[in-house]
Structure 1
Amino acid sequence: MKIDLTGRKAIVTGSTAGIGRAIAEGLAGAGASVVINGRTEERVAATLREMRALLPDADLSGVAADVATPEGSAGLFERAPDADILVNNAGTARPNDFFLQDDDEWLDLFQLNVMSGVRAARHYLPGMKARGWGRVVFISSESALNIPREMIDYGVTKTAVLGVSRGLTELVAGTGVTVNAVVPGPTNSEILSNWMKATAEKQGITPAQAEQNFLREQRPTTLINRFATTEEVANMVVYACSKQASATTGAVLRVDGGVLRSIA
């Protein structure tokens, strides 16, 4: 299968590192014009330099905007008003104590993990419908279906993402636009890698040992016995954005390494 996205414009939120960065590289490598997004000009500029060195023929641009806020989202829409492909990747996770969290912490995470995607879909989907073609992908998590006790708020936001994705699928039925959610499992992204490095330093072990301890203690149902790579997650997203995926919509596409013990 050869995926060719030449002539398509893609926006990937939260794409200066981790899964978002790998998705941006995958889409650009398939020929799409890609808009990089991050919170600061410095991160966006550095990512553009690195990606242009890696993919010198790619059509890349960047918008620094904090999509966790309505104002930041509006700034993104102003500078990148249209898109054929929208990947709602911006989000974060942070281990915490449920009983010590206050309302503001919950609401802040909801703004980033859920409302950033809601606002982007609300802006870009009408244009996709009018043109008769579009791809929207929400990045959720296996934590949406297997709520982790160490970050209940994160799991709840990723469950909400699945609901938004499925609901939007119904709104765009028959228009040539597809909406899907991708569910990564533990992935060697910037956030989780930093967590493993900090854990390893604290416990006096290697990051590789910290990874195995995490899987054994918190994700014992893994079938690949390792973290996925960001590229493995990106491969699924690039497929979901392709013309070949025209009959794939309303789906929860797993790249979870078999963590979820379910046949549906």
Structure 2
Amino acid sequence: MRALVTGSTGGIGEAIARRLAADGMSVVLVGRNRERADAARRRIAAAVPDADLSCEVADLSLMASVRSLGERADPLPDVVVSNAAVVAPLDAVTAEGLQLTFATNHLAPYLLLRTLAARLGDGPARFVVVGAAPRALARVPVDLDDLQFRDARTLGPLPSFRPFAAYGRTKNMNAMFGYALARRLADTRITVNGGHPGIVRQTGLGRHARGAFGVFTTLLNPFVPDVDFGADNPHWLATASEVEGVSGRYFVRREEVPTATHTTDMARQDRLWDSSARLVGLPVTL
């Protein structure tokens, strides 16, 4: 069994990769630079001495890099955990002209999982899309007419909190994409499920935080669990017999939960799907 985990050079992603390696899987660690990927590989190898680990370098904010990652994966993975995410300033734009949070958190998993699904064909696989808290996300529906947060005023009155509101929208995009992809793969042996890892510290998500939001994240850290807690639900979705063959669901603490109606509306899912296809240069049809 082979697993590919994005955002696995630290935080929750590294903890997920370590658990999968302890299960005996060959694990591909995906990170933005070789040094961080190699450091994570060494840490996991120290914890799991017989771990079968390899590293792939990919900048998930750049669609050319994501496409290359999906096309060169060999052998193809049996498990893919889409975990990488950022909370970036609203004016942060990639070299390809895309807003950084949107590109990394939504377009990257959209392009990667579509690319891998096309290559897998009739092969079995589990895709796990790491999301966020459904109750909190209910308050930040995706603006389908402003996917890249150009109207910052819609993200709330406090400028320092707006990047986190944008992050919340991308996590709703993750849920919508997971449901839409599961529908399109219903006749295959690929399953797609989303899950909340819990609010944990040491994720690195708040590294760009400023103002009131920066203070909030600093004060919150001592009172939340660590990344090993956050790894439990995604790891369970990737491996548990209880969810074998289950697809198109969302889980919190190993329990299926509903998400907001604005994420389960199929017309909204399809609008997001079509817009995303155009932005990454894929056909609308899978």
Counting only pairs closer than 5 Å after superposition, residues 168-207 of structure 1 correspond to structure 2 as 168-191=181-204
- For 2:125, which of 112, 128, 134 is the aligned residue? 134
Identify the residue that residue 211 of structure 1 maps to in structure 2: 220
Q: How much does 1:247 deviate?
A: 4.1
Identify the residue that residue 9 of structure 2 maps to in structure 1: 16
Q: How much does 1:79 deviate?
A: 4.1
User: Are residue 154 (structure 1) and residue 146 (structure 2) matched?
Assistant: no
Identify the residue that residue 3 of structure 1 maps to in structure 2: none
- Percent same amino acid among aligned pairs? 27
Q: How much does 1:124 deviate?
A: 1.1
Two-structure CA RMSD over aligned residues (Å): 3.3
- Asked if structure 2 preserves the Cα contact closer than 8 Å seen for 1:65 and 1:73, the reply is yes
- For 1:123, which of 107, 115, 128 is the aligned residue? 115
Tell me the secondary structure at the aligned position of residue 186 of structure 2. coil
Tell me the secondary structure at the aligned position of residue 180 of structure 1. strand
The 2-side partners of 1:75 and 1:88 are apart by 16
- For 1:238, which of 235, 239, 243 is the aligned residue? 235
- Asked if structure 1 preserves the Cα contact closer than 8 Å seen for 2:197 and 2:232, the reply is no
User: Are residue 55 (structure 1) and residue 48 (structure 2) matched?
Assistant: yes
The 2-side partners of 1:102 and 1:55 are apart by 41
Alignment TM-score, normalising by the size of structure 2: 0.70
Deviation sequence 1:44-89 (CA, Å, 0-9, x none): 1111111111111111000111021122113323542421111111
Tell me the secondary structure at the aligned position of residue 107 of structure 2. helix
User: Are residue 250 (structure 1) and residue 263 (structure 2) matched?
Assistant: no
AA in 1 matched with 2:129 = F
Tell me the secondary structure at the aligned position of residue 225 of structure 2. coil
Q: How much does 1:174 deviate?
A: 3.9
CA 1:45/1:169 → structure 2, altered by over 3 Å: closer, same or farther?
same
Tell me the secondary structure at the aligned position of residue 253 of structure 1. strand
Tell me the secondary structure at the aligned position of residue 228 of structure 1. coil
Identify the residue that residue 29 of structure 1 maps to in structure 2: 22
CA 1:187/1:78 → structure 2, altered by over 3 Å: closer, same or farther?
same
CA 1:254/1:228 → structure 2, altered by over 3 Å: closer, same or farther?
farther
User: Are residue 80 (structure 1) and residue 73 (structure 2) matched?
Assistant: yes
Alignment TM-score, normalising by the size of structure 1: 0.75
AA in 2 matched with 1:24 = A
Structure 1: gaps spanning 5 or more residues: 1-7, 214-225
Matched residues, number:
230
Identify the residue that residue 66 of structure 1 maps to in structure 2: 59
Deviation sequence 1:115-147 (CA, Å, 0-9, x none): 11011111111344412x110011111253343
Moved more, 243-252 or 85-94: 243-252
